[in-house]
Amino acid sequence: MKVRAAVLRQIGLPAPYAQSRPLSIEEVELADPGPGELRVKIHAAGLCHSDLSAINGDRPWPVPIVPGHEASAEVVEVGSAVLDVKVGDHVVLVFRPSCGACPDCSVGRPALCGPGGESNAAGGLLGGYRRLSLVGGGTLHHHMGCAAFAEYATVSRRSVVPIDPDLPWTQAALFGCAVLTGAGAVFNTARIEAGARTAVVGLGGVGFSSLMAAIAAGAREVIAIDVMPAKLERALELGATRVFDARDPEVVAQVKAVTEGGVDYAFEMAGAVPALELAYRITRRGGTTVSAGLPNPAAIWPLQAVSMIAEERTIKGSYIGSCVPSRDVPRFVAMFRGGRLPVDQLLSETIRLDEINPALDRLARGESVRQVIVMD
């Protein structure tokens, strides 16, 4: 079938994106689902910094490609061998498919699935398949097994999690990346204790999800650090105990002064080495620094090794919040419904697919928490 989609043909076009227009809205060919796959109608797709990193070249992907990895959708066709999802089901797309059988999947760490990572890197679906092509012929890649900036997508069954049908599409989409990554980093990667002192560096959708999760986990101190005053004000509204400007040369000393030497857990969610350095420096002796920001692969962090040893520090990476999506999406949705994880507060604005290039500029400037593309 033919569907409208945002296509990235060239990586690294300069900002402002409203002028360079790296994403073109085109009609593309979408093949039927194969065994173990689904065709879904995309209803809402979040615009994430990982999408921007594909466009600016920080995270190179094969092109041409249909970006988009955080979305909510409705199942419209089921391939053979899919027995637990049916037409009409509502789902959240998950940007790291998991095979369920590799060494990492078998020990409960699907975020590290080897086959899932290989298929993503190649721009295909789990198993290496491609169901997208350019009209008239030509390979078209899937971003993270999702290719969600489109009216419809064909995806692996292992790339979706069913959700309650009464959850609004725009809110449901946020659980696929922002919430899984941010809240998961707090609950799964760090496993913070009630009463811990915490800090979040970088207040995008993922960072705000970490902040809300730290509050829900009972942290006594939840510090928010960013360069945007509006985001710091928003953090206070959501329950942050203190906020600091990341550009202040005294920010490390200030945080240490109010936390008796540093926080127990610092979460870096900005995807930049200076942010990671800041997060590490405000972590107390014996504390843990967690990073989920995904900087450019060429970025190098010069760690002072002796501080990690002599102060018994822990540094942890967190991918998809160390989540088991089939377990964590439902529990985070339940926390949202119970008022403990106000995910709806992440939504900055809704846009149409045709408005995606100017939206990239707002994302790049750090003006929005989460912009959501509404396909209906």
Q: What is the pLDDT of residues 112-139, one digit of tens each?
A: 999 999 999 999 999 999 999 999 899 9
- 55's tokens: 């466009």
Kindly state whether residue 325 falls inside one of the protein's structural domains: no
- Respond yes or no on whether the N-terminal peptide bond of residue 16 is cis (omega within 30° of 0): yes
- Residue 46 clears pLDDT 90, i.e. is over it: yes
Do 189 and 151 belong together in one domain?
A: no
The secondary structure element, H or E, covering residue 164 is none
Q: What is the mean pLDDT of residues 60-66?
A: 96
Kindly state whether residue 238 falls inside one of the protein's structural domains: yes
Do 196 and 130 belong together in one domain?
A: no
The secondary structure element, H or E, covering residue 362 is helix 356-364
Strands of 246-282 (E only): list them. Answer: 263-268
Q: What is the mean pLDDT of residues 344-371?
A: 96
Structural domain tally of the chain? 2
- High-pLDDT (> 90) share of the chain, %: 99
pLDDT attached to residue 376: 82
Do 205 and 270 belong together in one domain?
A: yes
Separation of alpha carbons 255 and 265, rounded Å: 12
Q: What is the mean pLDDT of residues 355-365?
A: 97
Q: What is the mean pLDDT of residues 74-90?
A: 97
Do 216 and 131 belong together in one domain?
A: no
Do 10 and 80 belong together in one domain?
A: yes
List b or e across 32-51, with b for residues whose CB sees 16 or more CB atoms inside 10 angstroms: ebeebbbbbbbbbbbbbbbb
Separation of alpha carbons 305 and 371, rounded Å: 39
- Residue 62 clears pLDDT 90, i.e. is over it: yes
Q: What is the mean pLDDT of residues 345-357?
A: 97
- 35's tokens: 């065994």
Do 149 and 203 belong together in one domain?
A: no
Kindly state whether residue 19 falls inside one of the protein's structural domains: yes
Q: What is the mean pLDDT of residues 22-42?
A: 98
Kindly state whether residue 328 falls inside one of the protein's structural domains: no
pLDDT band at residue 54 under the 50/70/90 scheme: very high
Residue 33: which CATH number?
Answer: 3.90.180.10
Beta pairing class for 37-47 and 152-156: antiparallel
Separation of alpha carbons 225 and 252, rounded Å: 11
Do 315 and 346 belong together in one domain?
A: no
Q: Which domain holds residue 272?
A: 182-319
Q: How far is CA 249 from CA 128, 199, 254, in A?
A: 48, 17, 10
Q: What is the mean pLDDT of residues 41-66?
A: 96
Kindly state whether residue 116 falls inside one of the protein's structural domains: yes
List b or e across 191-220, with b for residues whose CB sees 16 or more CB atoms inside 10 angstroms: ebeeebbbbbbbbbbbbbbbbbbbbbbebe
Kindly state whether residue 138 falls inside one of the protein's structural domains: yes
Residue 190: which CATH number?
Answer: 3.40.50.720
Do 312 and 351 belong together in one domain?
A: no
pLDDT attached to residue 143: 98
pLDDT band at residue 281 under the 50/70/90 scheme: very high
Do 205 and 243 belong together in one domain?
A: yes
pLDDT attached to residue 32: 97
Q: What are phi and psi of 233, to 5 degrees?
A: -65, -40
Q: Does the global pTM surpass 0.85?
A: yes
Q: What is the mean pLDDT of residues 256-264?
A: 98
- 207's tokens: 């960072």
Handedness of CA 202, 206, 212, 216 (dihedral sign): negative
Do 34 and 116 belong together in one domain?
A: yes
Kindly state whether residue 332 falls inside one of the protein's structural domains: no
Kindly state whether residue 334 falls inside one of the protein's structural domains: no
Do 41 and 143 belong together in one domain?
A: yes
